[in-house]
């Protein structure tokens, strides 16, 4: 009989650790065997079918997709976690901005810039008619830029430079600017193609200045070089409002450990896409197969695998699909504001996007898995370790890791302090946000391996008594660490 000394015990533990890091345990093997390419293909091909018309928020196609997801959760025997079965209902108002008579000009240094209607996004309440309002430049393009004084802004047309700033920090600054009662805010930035925006019904209709975002290099130049005495004129119609009910779809698999089951790992993806193009030749349906039927199929396959295998994770798994990501992270923001499970007990969020295509515009991605904010949390390492056991190379994409952090639903949970990343195989691919994002173009044999890797990572995170953490040594995560500390009352 082997004599167990301290030294041999340490050696055995090390050997066990090395084993678990580089190969699958029997329960992990059983888990991943439940994830198959045909199952993934089945989910993606239905969700991305023409019948669902691109799953716009709101639309009949989106509702059908939601019912499909709920039906799968029902089939797996998962617990409903919404206020209406598997649905978390969210009362919203659909705001449509009429653009027929829209006009906005900036007179600066003897030249007149006219905003092109198709590169403009308007948000705000009420009709606006401004003629020759003095303009003031506010440059928030650098991280940590301060706000101007209220006196310099009130009644003026604010020309706002946002640079690459995204997320909560810039949103908060914009709200603070609006609270200073400018006549209008004309901002550089990213715009959505749609003329419709959503707002939570409970948000009310406080009178505030309109924000006109212009995605146009010419405007960015005018804004950066704004001359003294510049003036803004604008004619904007009042938006039209209609109440709508939107739904996140949520199910849980309760954890097996008496204590850890009170903690939650969120596995998420958005089930909406961008709908049907208003005009164009033949095919006008943006099917959204890779974006993000592939993420939903990942969540569904994880849900199926974890519910079928005998080994039950210690922490509670929450499977959730969101509405409204494409319109601006609405479903995830709604959840973060109205969480079903306390955020302080929510230890991690793995959000899934673009899991099927391997033809990233920047190079082939077969056998590779990445994530936004790869080095922001310990979850990047969890993917790396899982990949070692499944033969997938999890890697940090230096160019896109930071840039894509704010571009999906992980951002909403990160802003609330929860360690949250978006896992993906490809970022931008040839049919991204186009009608050609069809289900046949996904690489399903590769996707099976990728989702299996995610399953292993999730299983280990869910069984590890040590919760995932923000990487506090990175200055890039300072605001999320602060949010985490506020959430946990430790600052």
Interface residue list for Zn ion (CB under 5 A): 291-292, 353
- Mode of pairing for the β-strands spanning 111-114 and 196-200: unpaired
- Mode of pairing for the β-strands spanning 87-96 and 240-253: antiparallel
C-alpha 30/C-alpha 307 separation (Å) is 12
Residues 425 and 345 sit within 8 Å (Cβ to Cβ) = no
Cβ of residue 287: shortest distance to Zn ion, in angstroms? 13
- Please say which residue, 73 or 427, places its beta carbon nearer to Zn ion: 427
Cβ of residue 274: shortest distance to Zn ion, in angstroms? 9
- Residue 328 — left, alpha, or beta (φ > 0 → left; ψ -120 to 50 → alpha)? left
- Please say which residue, 376 or 427, places its beta carbon nearer to Zn ion: 427
- Please say which residue, 304 or 353, places its beta carbon nearer to Zn ion: 353
The enclosing H or E element of 40 equals helix 37-47
Cβ of residue 407: shortest distance to Zn ion, in angstroms? 8
Residues 197 and 327 sit within 8 Å (Cβ to Cβ) = yes
- Please say which residue, 55 or 314, places its beta carbon nearer to Zn ion: 55
Considering only the C-alpha atoms of the chain, give the largest distance between any 2 of them, rounded to a whole number of Å.
93
Cβ of residue 248: shortest distance to Zn ion, in angstroms? 15
- Please say which residue, 187 or 358, places its beta carbon nearer to Zn ion: 358
ω into 144 cis (within 30 of 0): no
- Please say which residue, 53 or 353, places its beta carbon nearer to Zn ion: 353
Cβ of residue 347: shortest distance to Zn ion, in angstroms? 24
- Strand positions, DSSP E, 338-387: 346-352, 359-360, 363-364, 368-371
Residue 470 DSSP one-character state: B
Q: Which of 186, 182, 172 is nearest to 107 (CA)?
A: 186
Q: What are the residues whose beta carbons fall under 8 Å from the beta carbon of 427, sequence distance 6 or more?
A: 354, 360, 361, 362, 370, 397, 400, 404
- Please say which residue, 28 or 272, places its beta carbon nearer to Zn ion: 272
Cβ of residue 325: shortest distance to Zn ion, in angstroms? 6
Q: How many CB atoms lie within 10 A of CB 260?
A: 20
Q: Using only the alpha carbons of the chain, give its radius of gyration.
A: 24
ω into 390 cis (within 30 of 0): no
- Helix, strand or coil for residue 408? coil
Location of structure tokens 């209709």: 205
- Please say which residue, 291 or 431, places its beta carbon nearer to Zn ion: 291
Q: How many CB atoms lie within 10 A of CB 383?
A: 26
Cβ of residue 352: shortest distance to Zn ion, in angstroms? 9
Cβ of residue 271: shortest distance to Zn ion, in angstroms? 10
- Please say which residue, 233 or 332, places its beta carbon nearer to Zn ion: 332
Cβ of residue 57: shortest distance to Zn ion, in angstroms? 12
């Amino acid at each position: 009989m082997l004599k167990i000394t301290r030294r041999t015990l340490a050696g055995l533990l090390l050997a066990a650790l090395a084993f678990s890091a580089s190969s699958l345990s029997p329960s992990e093997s059983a888990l991943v065997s439940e994830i198959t390419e045909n199952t993934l293909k089945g989910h993606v091909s239905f969700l991305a079918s023409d019948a669902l018309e691109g799953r716009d928020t709101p639309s009949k196609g989106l509702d059908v997709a939601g019912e499909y997801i709920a039906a799968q959760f029902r089939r797996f025997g998962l617990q409903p976690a919404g206020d209406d079965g598997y649905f978390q209902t969210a009362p919203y108002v659909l705001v449509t901005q009429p653009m027929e008579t829209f006009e906005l000009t900036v007179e600066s240094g003897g030249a007149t810039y006219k905003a092109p209607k198709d590169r403009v996004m308007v948000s705000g309440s009420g009709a606006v008619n401004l003629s020759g309002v003095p303009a003031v430049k506010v440059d928030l393009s650098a991280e940590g830029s301060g706000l101007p004084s209220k006196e310099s802004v009130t009644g003026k047309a604010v020309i706002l430079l946002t640079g690459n700033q995204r997320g909560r920090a810039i949103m908060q600054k914009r709200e603070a600017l609006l609270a200073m009662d400018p006549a209008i805010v004309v901002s550089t930035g990213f715009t959505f193609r749609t003329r419709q925006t959503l707002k939570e019904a409970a948000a009310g209709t406080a009178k505030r200045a309109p924000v006109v975002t212009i995605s146009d290099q010419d405007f960015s130049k005018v804004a950066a070089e704004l001359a003294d005495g510049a003036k803004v004129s604008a004619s904007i119609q009042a938006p039209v409002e209609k109440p709508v009910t939107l739904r996140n779809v949520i199910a849980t698999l309760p954890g097996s450990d008496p204590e850890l089951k009170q903690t939650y790992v969120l596995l998420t993806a958005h089930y909406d896409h961008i709908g049907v193009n208003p005009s164009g030749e033949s095919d006008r349906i943006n099917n959204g197969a890779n974006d993000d039927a592939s993420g939903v199929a990942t969540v569904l396959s994880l849900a199926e695998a974890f519910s079928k295998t005998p080994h039950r994770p210690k922490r509670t798994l929450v499977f959730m699909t969101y509405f409204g990501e494409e319109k601006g992270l609405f479903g995830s923001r709604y959840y973060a504001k109205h969480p079903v499970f306390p955020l302080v007990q929510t230890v991690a969020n793995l959000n899934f996007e673009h899991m099927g295509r391997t033809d990233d515009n920047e190079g082939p991605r077969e056998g590779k898995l990445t994530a936004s904010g790869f080095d922001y949390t310990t979850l990047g390492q969890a993917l790396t370790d899982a990949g070692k056991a499944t033969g997938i190379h999890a890697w940090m994409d230096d160019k896109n890791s930071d840039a894509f952090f704010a571009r999906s639903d992980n951002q909403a949970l990160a802003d609330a302090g929860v360690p949250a990343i978006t896992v993906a195989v490809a970022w931008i691919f040839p049919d991204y946000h186009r009608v050609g994002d069809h289900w046949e173009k996904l690489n399903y044999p590769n996707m099976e391996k990728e989702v299996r890797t995610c399953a292993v990572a999730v299983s280990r995170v869910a069984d590890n008594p040590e919760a995932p953490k923000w990487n506090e040594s990175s200055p890039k995560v300072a605001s999320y660490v602060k949010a985490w500390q506020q959430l946990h009352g430790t600052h």
